[in-house]
Amino acid sequence: MSIFFIYINTSSAQSFVHDFGVYAGYTSIQTDYGERFYTPSSISLASLSFTVAHSLHFYNLRKFIFKKSNLKNHLLLRTLASYESKRDLRHKGEWVSRNSIAAEQLRAMKGSIRGATLGMDLEIHFRDLAEFNSYSRARHRISPYISTGIRLLLYENDLSSDLGDWRTDNSLLFPKYRIDTNRAIGKGHAIGVAFTTGFRYNIARNLDLDSKINWILYNSDEIDGLIVDEEINKFNETTTSIQIGIVFRLGRNKRFKCF
C-alpha cells in the first residue's frame, strides 16, 4: 500500500483515487559481460520482466501541500514489484572474437542472473489526471508522464564455463577472473535510482493501456558476479526496460483516507 503524508488543516476525511496495473516486457542489463556501449551486447543480455503496480492519485483531495496549486492533479505515487526471468550472460565484442586461448576462455564463460525488485515512484503527468479519469467526452484520452524513484533489487547470480568446472580448476577462467576477490557469486542486493517515461491511453471505462521505458542505475558493480577494478570494468550495473501494461482504475475507496 502506498503511503503519502499530506498536511491538512481540517479533520474531515478525504478519499484517494487508486489503480492497479500489470505489465510485461523486456529488460536488458549493462554489465562487465560484453563491451560497454556495445549495443548487440546489451540486446543479447535481455530477459522477460513482469511488474505489478499500485498507484494513488491525489486530485480528489480537497487540501494538499501546495494549497494554491493544481499540482495534485498531475501527481500519483506508485509502488511496484517486479520479477525478471533468468538471464544468461556472455561476453561479446572484439576481445571474444580473437583467435587465442584467452579469447576462448572468455567465450566459454557463462553467467546468469535472476532477481526481484521492489520500488516506489513519484509520477508526474503533463495533463490533468482529473480530466483524464473523468467520463466526459471532451476529456483527453492520452496522458504522457515522467517519473523518478528508488529500487531495491534482490538477486542471485552464477558463473560457469563450457571448458569445465572452474571451481575445481580456476585456470579455465580468463586470467583476471581467477582471483577470488574479482568474483562475487551468489545472492545479493542493490539499491537503484529509477527514471521512467511513458504514456497512458484510455481504452475503456476505468481501463488504460500503459507503455513505458525505464532506466535504473544501481549502486553496485557486483550484480553480474564480476568485480574487476579496471577502467573497462569500473561501471556500476544499469538496466533498461520496455514494458506495456493494463491499468485498472479502481475509483474511490473510503478505506483509503487522509486525516
Residue 227 lies in a domain: yes
Residue 49 lies in a domain: yes
Mean local confidence (pLDDT), 42-54:
83
Residue reference for cell 583476471: 176
- pLDDT single digits (tens) 163-222: 999 999 999 999 989 999 999 999 999 999 999 999 999 988 789 999 999 999 999 989
- pLDDT single digits (tens) 73-97: 888 999 999 998 888 888 877 777 7
Q: Report the chain's mean pLDDT, rounded to a whole number.
A: 82
Highest-pLDDT range among 74-78, 92-96, 231-235, 250-254: 74-78
Res. 65 pLDDT band, cuts 50 70 90? low
**Could you tell me if residue 231 is left (phi over 0), alpha (psi between -120 and 50 degrees) or otherwise beta?**
alpha
Nearest Cα to 28, choosing from 38, 13, 18?
Answer: 38
Q: Against a cut of 0.75, is the pTM above it?
A: yes
Check residues 68 and 144 and name the one with the higher pLDDT. 144
Grid cell, residue 12, equals 474531515
Instruction: Point out the least confidently predicted range of 58-72, 143-157, 245-259.
Output: 245-259
How many domains does the chain fold into? 1
Residue 248 pLDDT exceeds 90: yes
Nearest Cα to 155, choosing from 249, 79, 224?
Answer: 224
Residue 252 pLDDT exceeds 60: no
Residue 2 lies in a domain: no
Grid cell, residue 62, equals 480537497
Q: What is the CATH number of the domain that holds 109?
A: 2.40.160.20
Residue 243 pLDDT exceeds 70: yes
The answer to whether 194 and 148 have CB atoms below 8 angstroms apart is yes
> Residue 231 has what DSSP assignment?
G
CA angle 52, 53, 58 (to 5 degrees): 165
Tell me phi and psi for residue 180, to 5 degrees: -55, -40
**Measured between alpha carbons, how far is 257 from 259 in angstroms, rounded to an integer?**
6
Grid cell, residue 146, equals 515522467
- Give the rounded percent of residues in the chain with a pLDDT score beyond 70: 79
Residue 144 lies in a domain: yes
Range of the domain at 194: 15-258
Residue 8 lies in a domain: no
Residue 3 pLDDT exceeds 70: no
- pLDDT single digits (tens) 100-141: 888 898 888 899 999 999 999 999 999 888 888 776 554 678
pLDDT for the residue 43: 60
